[in-house]
Amino acid sequence: MNVAYRKYIKEDYASCEALVSDAWRFDDLIESKNLRITAKYLYTKGALVSSNYKTVAVHQGAVVGFIFGYNSSVKKDILAAISLGIKATIDLSFKKMDKAEKNNFIDTIKAHQINRSKVVSKKDNEVVLFVVSPNYQGQGVGTRLWMGFKEYCENSACSKIQVETNKLGASAFYERLGFNHRADFDSPLHNMATKGGQACVYEYIR
């Protein structure tokens, strides 16, 4: 299979968001159309803004997977983060949405972030968002994407990389890559997407 790997470009955004939407089942989980659109954007764009390593896998002209990662030795784009925050505030404040569903979504995100912050180190490198189309899983695409980010971190003398995942989701994949379980945390966001799943943090140490 002839899959090419290259840096993310802005024209890839729609494809990446579609992969995220399918992986997290936004269309099934959120009834309000405007809230669903906003959630997809915030989740995908938020990961982009938080990352300084962005690589996509392309097959026959279509993006079939990507990895967005954060290398702690490289500065974040603060202006992009501020811009995203402003857009999120405007969308959630002024777009027509079911009020109860919107408030529940906001509370879910807040609870996730609070609990996550207790076990995630901001000083560590991180796999921020990592998705491979189900049709291309098990064929080495994810491993190749991971190896690129790992090398990027190692070249800047970074030896530790963390990732948030779900024990019922990609935990087995990360274990095969050499990650070890570091901590669990309660997350209504993970439970919303994967009933009975346990949010957790895994760690790779060179």
pLDDT single digits (tens) 128-176 = 999 999 999 999 999 999 999 999 999 988 889 999 999 998 999 999 9
Specify the pLDDT at position 192: 86
Specify the pLDDT at position 179: 97
| 122 against 95, higher pLDDT | 95
Q: In this structure, is residue 62 part of a structural domain?
A: yes
Specify the pLDDT at position 175: 97
- What is the model's pTM? 0.94
Specify the pLDDT at position 123: 79
* Interval 32-36 mean pLDDT: 95
DSSP assignment string, 1-35: ---EEEE--GGGHHHHHHHHHHHHTHHHH---HHH
Q: In this structure, is residue 98 part of a structural domain?
A: yes
User: Helix or strand or coil: residue 103?
Assistant: helix
* Interval 194-201 mean pLDDT: 90
Whether the per-residue pLDDT at 77 is higher than 80: the answer is no
pLDDT class of 84 with cuts at 50, 70, 90: confident
pLDDT class of 69 with cuts at 50, 70, 90: very high
Q: In this structure, is residue 170 part of a structural domain?
A: no
**Which two tokens mark 87?**
């857009």
Radius of gyration of the chain, Cα coordinates, nearest whole angstrom: 17
Question: Domain containing 129 — which CATH number?
Answer: 3.40.630
Domain count, the chain: 1
- C-alpha distances in angstroms, 206 versus 34, 142, 161, 170, 192? 43, 19, 9, 20, 33
Q: In this structure, is residue 179 part of a structural domain?
A: no
Percentage above 70 pLDDT, the chain = 100
pLDDT class of 193 with cuts at 50, 70, 90: confident
What span, in angstroms and rounded, lies between the C-alpha atoms of 36 and 31? 7
Q: In this structure, is residue 106 part of a structural domain?
A: yes
Which range of residues forms the domain containing residue 134? 4-157
Q: In this structure, is residue 177 part of a structural domain?
A: no
Specify the pLDDT at position 159: 80
Percentage above 90 pLDDT, the chain = 80
Whether the per-residue pLDDT at 115 is higher than 90: the answer is yes
Q: In this structure, is residue 115 part of a structural domain?
A: yes
pLDDT class of 1 with cuts at 50, 70, 90: confident
Specify the pLDDT at position 79: 80
Q: In this structure, is residue 59 part of a structural domain?
A: yes
Question: Per residue in 163-176, is it b (16+ CB within 10 Å) or e — as a string?
Answer: bbbbbebbbebbee
Mean pLDDT over all residues of the chain?
Answer: 93
